[in-house]
Chains A and B, each alone.
Chain A
């Protein structure tokens, strides 16, 4: 049972992130919700590489024994870099929207054509 706790945490993080994207009205809270979903998926990728009783996969002065898988850690690193780039672009677009409309409420921006 103790080895299933990371998977329960993954599902909880993804559901909290989806709740924030769907039900919140502030634009910044939607961006934070997307970041929480991304943290959940990264945690799922790392948890798949664990073997019972293993140590970190580093060869420099290691104490011996079986090592955890290093391939999911490389995939997670790529995913974190993609998440940083998407977050930077979304925040720049939010700054531009705030400068045009003066508000961050999603029900007040938009509307008919000027």
Chain B
């Protein structure tokens, strides 16, 4: 099998590989860190380098006009089963380039910045999990899958903000972040249940095509925009943002910017894809 066939195969399966490679790297990292510290750092940088190459391969194909969809579980579309789809268009490609470059720079910077701390295997595991969560959130085309990846990202980032547990201010900033973030996530789940109860579908494209603008849809729109803005630090709900950006370790602040902008990407998806034919 020559190089062109291999590149074609990777391009066809790349939406799943972009999320799977940091995920399996995050689970292997505690096993590797028993051996040596430098081996673990090199392994994490190599994993993120591999993910970066997959991201650039996918983005170079999507930004020239094709839209990729990827179906999990089977390629037989005639079976009446609920399937999860990943759907990559130009805005997703833009966001995944930003997220993976931020993550690679954060890991390279924290090789020497976090050198004297203990418990570094948990630190690298959490960074890889947070990267997998951000990339999954920006690639998916299914509403409940978006909620699951959003929760993975916010739990990992709250644990990373409170990483320096010997300083009282960092732990307090992490606690404030996770309380406000969890209340927002529970209201997002309430809105997703409102969509499922009316239309019996969880896919974003399906809901966009059969949406009638009833009163319950208006309630769901208000709750979704308010809760996703709460996670992004928009003005009436911004009280956790200065503490979390200031008291976290500096290499975590890069990734926290990526996570808050990914929640803004969620607002754009809700307003322009699902409600696109109705409120524009």
List the interface of chain A (C-beta within 8 A of B). Answer: 14, 21, 27, 30, 34, 37-38, 41, 44-45, 48, 71-72, 75, 78-79, 82, 85-86, 89-90, 93-94, 96-97, 100-101, 109-110, 113-114
26 A-B pairs, CB-CB below 8 angstroms? Answer: A34-B179, A34-B183, A37-B186, A41-B193, A48-B193, A48-B196, A71-B82, A71-B196, A75-B193, A75-B196, A79-B189, A82-B151, A82-B185, A86-B155, A89-B158, A89-B159, A90-B175, A90-B179, A90-B182, A93-B162, A93-B174, A96-B162, A96-B165, A97-B171, A100-B168, A109-B172
Name B82's closest neighbour in chain A (CB-CB). Answer: A71
- The list of the 3 closest CB pairs from A to B, nearest first, reads A100-B168, A48-B197, A93-B175
Tell me if B86 is interfacial: C-beta within 8 Å of chain A.
no
A75–B194 alpha-carbon span in the complex (Å): 13
CB distance A110 to B148 under 8 Å? no
Q: Which of B171, B182, B197 contacts A100 (CB 8 A)?
A: B171
List the interface of chain B (C-beta within 8 A of A). Answer: 82, 144, 148, 151, 155, 158-159, 162, 165, 168-169, 171-172, 174-175, 178-179, 182-183, 185-186, 189-190, 193, 196-197
A89–B151 alpha-carbon span in the complex (Å): 13
Name A87's closest neighbour in chain B (CB-CB). Answer: B182
Q: Which residues of A contact B169 (CB under 8 A)?
A: 113
CB distance B171 to A41 under 8 Å? no
A92–B172 alpha-carbon span in the complex (Å): 12
Most chain B beta-carbon contacts within 10 A, residue among A14, A86, A114? A86
CB distance A82 to B193 under 8 Å? no
A75–B189 alpha-carbon span in the complex (Å): 10
Name A85's closest neighbour in chain B (CB-CB). Answer: B155
Name A31's closest neighbour in chain B (CB-CB). Answer: B179
Q: Which of A37, A78, A101 contacts B183 (CB 8 A)?
A: A37
CB distance A97 to B178 under 8 Å? no
Q: Which of A45, A75, A89, A114 contacts B155 (CB 8 A)?
A: A89
> Taking the nearest CB of chain B, how far is it from the CB of A95, in angstroms?
10
Q: Which of B174, B179, B189 contacts A41 (CB 8 A)?
A: B189
CB distance A94 to B186 under 8 Å? no
Name A27's closest neighbour in chain B (CB-CB). Answer: B175
A100–B169 alpha-carbon span in the complex (Å): 10
Q: Which residues of A contact B165 (CB under 8 A)?
A: 96
Q: Which residues of A contact B175 (CB under 8 A)?
A: 27, 90, 93-94, 97
Q: Which residues of B contact A100 (CB under 8 A)?
A: 168, 171
CB distance A44 to B178 under 8 Å? no
> Taking the nearest CB of chain B, how far is it from the CB of A30, in angstroms?
7
CB distance A34 to B196 under 8 Å? no
A110–B243 alpha-carbon span in the complex (Å): 11
CB distance B178 to A75 under 8 Å? no
Q: Which residues of B contact A44 (CB under 8 A)?
A: 190, 193
A79–B188 alpha-carbon span in the complex (Å): 12
Given A78-B148, A82-B151, residue A38 in contact with residue B193 (CB < 8 A): no
> Taking the nearest CB of chain A, how far is it from the CB of B148, in angstroms?
6
